[in-house]
Amino acid sequence: MVRNAYEVKKQGVEPQVVVLKVSNMFMINYNYLVIDHISNTSVIIDPAWDIDKIDRAIADSGTRLKGILLTHSHLDHIHLAKPLANKYDCAIWMSLEEMVISDFSAPQLEGIDERPWMVEGLKIKPFLTPGHTAGSMCYLIGNNLFSGDTLFAEGCGLCPDIAAAYKMFESLQTIKAQLRSDTRIFPGHNYGKIPGQEFATILQNNIYLQFGNKQDFASYRLRKGQNHSKFFEFL
């Protein structure tokens, strides 16, 4: 934990990302506590499954939790949003498009668009990235992208039909156009590679970023013989 001025200066203005691996039986998710040590504030991405672990991480950080960012509304990404919002008296953010298709509700829920905003010292830049769901969002905070089930290090999220796959193709093009090569990627799940890979590495190795048109992309994304269990978002 950064505690003194020298260490803060050494770290610069980049937020700290605390990686929290959480699980529920065979489901494994990654939650991220994003910390600004200058204003002593934090936000958390897609909290699920293990409230004790999350509470400990917040306490260890010495920060005030100011908000909960949801990349989409599947259960394994929203599971602890309401209890945490009640406990820490903070906002929950989700895209307006996802609110339309989801029955998730909470008094603290605020619909957002792609306009960036500040949470104390943390600048949040949302990207609307439909495909896995109609209102999926990725969040850029500092040089870190929290990509939910849109972009994994090893692949991309499942798409329910061809229209969704076309949207996913466009969403990945947006990500390719917007990110720096050294942006670190923090997905909702991992399938072998640890979270926080540089985008340049993922760009080289992830087959879903290699397609030049939406038709070829969709054919591959929807190919037969995949694992369509709702608990496995990638294969």
Distance CA 27, CA 40 (A): 32
46 binds Fe ion (CB under 5 A): no
| Residues 6 or more apart whose Cβ sits within 8 Å of residue 161 | 222
Q: Is 149 in the site for Fe ion (CB under 5 A)?
A: yes
Toward Fe ion, which CB reaches closer, 67 or 135?
A: 135
CA 19/CA 46 separation, integer angstroms = 12
For residue 74, state whether it binds Fe ion (rule: CB under 5 A): yes
Residue number with CB closer to Fe ion (74 or 167): 74
By CB under 5 A, how many residues form the interface with Fe ion? 2
189 binds Fe ion (CB under 5 A): no
Q: Which two tokens stand for residue 152?
A: 């994994």
The piece of 5-13, 45-53, 147-155, 210-218 that touches Fe ion (CB under 5 A) is: 147-155
Range in contact with Fe ion (rule: CB under 5 A) among 31-39, 68-76, 106-114, 173-181: 68-76
Are 208 and 172 spatial neighbours (Cβ–Cβ below 8 Å)?
yes
Q: Which stretch binds Fe ion (CB under 5 A): 73-81, 90-98, 99-107, 159-167?
A: 73-81
Give the strands of the sheet with 144-148, arranged side by side: 117-119, 122-128, 137-141, 144-148, 184-187, 197-198
What single DSSP character describes residue 209? G
Interface residues with Fe ion (CB under 5 A)? Answer: 74, 149
